[in-house]
Amino acid sequence: MQKDLDLSFLFSPRSVAVVGGSTGMAPYFLTDLINKGFEGRVYSVNPNKNELVGLKCYPTLRDISEPVDHVIVAISARLVPPLLMECAAKNVKACTIFSAGFSELGTEEGRRLEKEIVDISGKNGLRIIGPNCMGIYCPSTGLHFSADLQEKSGSLGLICQSGTVATYLSRAAPLRGACINKAVSYGNACDINESDLLEHYTQDSDIEVIAAYIEGVKDGKRFLEALKKAARTKPTIVLKGGKTEAGIATAASHTGALSSSIQVWNAIMRQSGAIPADHLDQLIDLSLLFLCTPPCVGRRIVMVGLGGGVSVLASDAFETYGFSFPDLSEQIKAGLLRFSSAPGSIFKNPVDTAIAFKNPDAMEDVLRMLNDWNEVDLLLLHHGYDIPGGGRAQLSTAIGKMIDATSVISKPAALVLYCAADPESYQASVQDQQKGWAGGIPSFASMESAAAALDKFVWYHQRKARHHGPASSN
Amino acid sequence: MQKDLDLSFLFSPRSVAVVGGSTGMAPYFLTDLINKGFEGRVYSVNPNKNELVGLKCYPTLRDISEPVDHVIVAISARLVPPLLMECAAKNVKACTIFSAGFSELGTEEGRRLEKEIVDISGKNGLRIIGPNCMGIYCPSTGLHFSADLQEKSGSLGLICQSGTVATYLSRAAPLRGACINKAVSYGNACDINESDLLEHYTQDSDIEVIAAYIEGVKDGKRFLEALKKAARTKPTIVLKGGKTEAGIATAASHTGALSSSIQVWNAIMRQSGAIPADHLDQLIDLSLLFLCTPPCVGRRIVMVGLGGGVSVLASDAFETYGFSFPDLSEQIKAGLLRFSSAPGSIFKNPVDTAIAFKNPDAMEDVLRMLNDWNEVDLLLLHHGYDIPGGGRAQLSTAIGKMIDATSVISKPAALVLYCAADPESYQASVQDQQKGWAGGIPSFASMESAAAALDKFVWYHQRKARHHGPASSN
């Protein structure tokens, strides 16, 4: 049976049934569907209960008289094949199989069960996400795979082989400003796999940036083509899980992923033009940058903030990644001195100044002047929370004014809001980050993470400018 | 005049006077002295005010009839030399000069002013911390250089050229379990410098671990000797600020530090046996490890936690740093299966299991079994906050039981408490970290940071075992 190549139907089912008991994940899936604005019908299927989280239980799928588009399966692995037969009979379009216990076990029984569900899927055109996965998060249609996910929809498309990683990214990325349009945790990928999702996200105009966590690919050739096309169409960031022997072995037991060598993987990444992420939080750093920041093809930075030691460490971090700090022109230096001449300030680049503290109303003029300085490509502002002097109120005013003032910036720019160690500072920093990205300026938690991400960001735009510039055609 | 080589007097003055106006840092220094348990007398000196933060102001130092041991100077640079003459006349033992505007300016005037204070210091045996610094934090005697520092004393000795960095480390390290015994922010180091402080901390039995942030050294030969002796006596961790051209230039304008090339610096580090930190938070990671964890000379890890993707990324991170994951013995595997056989678990190493969630009371037995397994050197436990399923209450119980159960561990061990993205999770994670280190188990925020710090920790202990072992003498 021909499978549908457009996966839009996955993200907007008219009705969802959750099949599972009261001690597993079924109650959580049901609660999310009920509480998070899903507009379709929700059914609970459980032969042993009258109700679950206040919802009537149907003994079997057959007992539901209305059509069911999507089924979330949270039952024992050995019960899954007969359930899929029922799904096929009821013309269900797709299943999310949360249940684990398939090929990832590495046992004969696990492989047999997975083959059985693949066969049922293929014969009946029933699409499967998983098994061994969390399924779909799509805030615009109210599909949530975990509690505490934001209901606000964004422009990031997330493809994620691991459920824990998918949940972390889906919670953490929006808190930092990278709100999610669609996220799929796809586990063993027995049917819908990384290439299907890449292809779908590539043509999905609601998605501006793609971020993926992948342990192994099903079909290397197809994947390379899908990744190339994705990366040509929109920024596509990939974190590979399983780059070392130990990692590859762990991935095999996790999602049954068969990794090729890291050399092969690196070659795929190089050919594709996708952006490799080094670790989980860099996947968020990069997503945020590509969502927020206008293209940047140069590496000349002007940095402004308070703290000499921080400026020293920032200089080290950014020079290590190939950025430079042009000397301030006499005009800029004179301009800065007009706004602040407090002792302890350094009127070199990086500029160490207490302007934000002492004369916050001047921040806008300072930033306008730096934005207009034509010898730099990028503005970097930093402020700490656990820094000398001042109380929280003064600090909060200073940071607030600094972030407000960024509205005059038209060049690529970023904030480093560091040193939020105690919970109260952390809370303030999360709020300030939100103010920042709402105004188009991404925030980072350290100079090192900002430098590493900006390096990849500029690399991407330089490569793109070469390939699409007048001197070359691609 | 012969200077005192023992610096104990710096940390336990009988009385402190703060000289400065109401708009600078003087009110903050005074407030800290009054509120943070300093037992000596506190004086405010200000010719233009009757009182500051409720304290009577003396017009000059001379007007104070009692002796003054320590003076904190927060006035304009050009007024500092005459004040120091007054200090000398009053037999003040030491000054902290917060004021900036000296050699770090790179101007003739700045250099002249600094030379002037160095001369006054030398001729009168008046010791100086600074200028351009925050001075002393010593919780046991109630000296605090910033608000919001912990009053609990610990065993970490901090040497820090930058005031912002000193404040951040003094706030963040204790929150993670590395409580501070003494911290000195020493700025331009015109008198008391990094070598003086290293030498003092080396023989100070209250200090178990030394952590230093240094931009430049005053006397390379003396520094190497001091660092060697420190590193032989106790773990000594050093972060260099100014490793690149841009960083070195920034350091020169920040504290007037003259950095030699990074090659020279690296040679000093290699010869000394000190532990180099790569960035600010690694300085805390390492301090915590050396304060909490028994020596570890092997790299065989057993890891237990929930989350397959996290296990894959952990395997990558730790193998990259030279650690290995021995295969579980049949006995261990059978033991684990006795406690949990939930689908989705992986009974390989790293072990991916929901034991902490599903059967938290079994954690103690599991950890006892792994602690006794003689094929591993190190136990690593991990748990996430933003992970699938469960509510916060269930999660909190699971993590709590896991941390409680670590009491049976006698081997080196560490926790990775990751994925605390939203402020509520962050707060919970800070509390759980405290429970961990109170029981002797340090916590890290990511697999990458844990692996990088543990690599240096094991390197240190392996080196020490070689040098002090039976086959060698040093």
Residue B473 lies in a domain: no
Residue B144 lies in a domain: no
Average pLDDT over residues B99-119: 93
| CA-wise closest residue to A345 among A323, A362, A324 | A362
Mean residue pLDDT of chain B comes to 90
- B388:A163 CB<8 A: yes
Q: How many domains does chain A have?
A: 3
A453 and A320 belong to one structural domain: yes
pLDDT of amino acid A24: 82
Give burial (CB, 10 Å; 0-12/13-18/19+) of A243.
buried
Mark which of B94, B129, B164 sits at the end of a domain.
B129
The b-or-e profile of B384-397 (16+ CB within 10 A means b, else e) is bbbbbbbeeeebee
Question: pLDDT confidence of B196, banded at 50, 70, 90?
Answer: very high
The rounded distance, in Å, linking the Cα atoms of A192 and B354 is 27
Range of the domain at A440: 301-465
pTM: 0.92
A164 and A262 belong to one structural domain: yes
- B421:A312 CB<8 A: no
pLDDT of amino acid A385: 79
Q: Distance (Å) from the C-alpha of residue A49 to the closest C-alpha of chain B?
A: 21
- A311:B281 CB<8 A: no
Residue B213 has pLDDT above 70, yes or no: yes
Cβ pairs A/B, distance under 8 A: 252
pLDDT along chain A (474 residues), means of 10: 75 97 88 92 96 96 97 96 97 96 90 96 96 96 91 97 92 92 96 97 97 92 96 97 88 75 88 95 96 95 89 94 95 85 76 75 90 96 74 78 92 87 84 89 93 97 80 37
What is the residue-wise DSSP string for A331-380? HHHHHHHHH---TT-B-SSSEE--HHHH-GGGHHHHHHHHHH-TT-SEEE
The domain that holds B398 is classified in CATH as 3.40.50.261
Average pLDDT over residues B119-147: 95
Mark which of A253, A272, A292 sits at the end of a domain.
A292
Q: Which of B175, B213, B320 sits opposite A422 (nearest CB)?
A: B175
- B427:A430 CB<8 A: no
A124 and A170 belong to one structural domain: no
Question: pLDDT confidence of B201, banded at 50, 70, 90?
Answer: very high
A56 and A179 belong to one structural domain: no
B chain contacts of residue A388, beta-carbon cutoff 8 Å: 25, 134, 145-146, 163-164, 167
Average pLDDT over residues B309-315: 91
**How many other C-beta atoms lie within 10 A of the C-beta of residue A54?**
9
pLDDT of amino acid B374: 94
B chain contacts of residue A319, beta-carbon cutoff 8 Å: 244-247
A460 and A312 belong to one structural domain: yes
A369 and A459 belong to one structural domain: yes
Q: Which of A77, A146, A281 sits opposite B343 (nearest CB)?
A: A77
pLDDT of amino acid B369: 93
According to DSSP, the β-strands at B70-74 and B15-20 are: parallel
Average pLDDT over residues B125-145: 96
Residue B4 has pLDDT above 70, yes or no: no
Question: In angstroms, what CA-CA distances link A441 with A70, A170, A289, A382, B192?
Answer: 39, 20, 8, 12, 42
A102 and A212 belong to one structural domain: no
Residues β-bridged to residue B132 = none
Mark which of B99, B129, B159 sits at the end of a domain.
B129
Residue B78 lies in a domain: yes
A249 and A339 belong to one structural domain: no
According to DSSP, the β-strands at A55-58 and A51-52 are: antiparallel
B315 and B444 belong to one structural domain: yes
Residue A473 lies in a domain: no
Residue B85 has pLDDT above 80, yes or no: yes
Which backbone phi and psi does A309 adopt, to 5 degrees? Answer: -60, -40
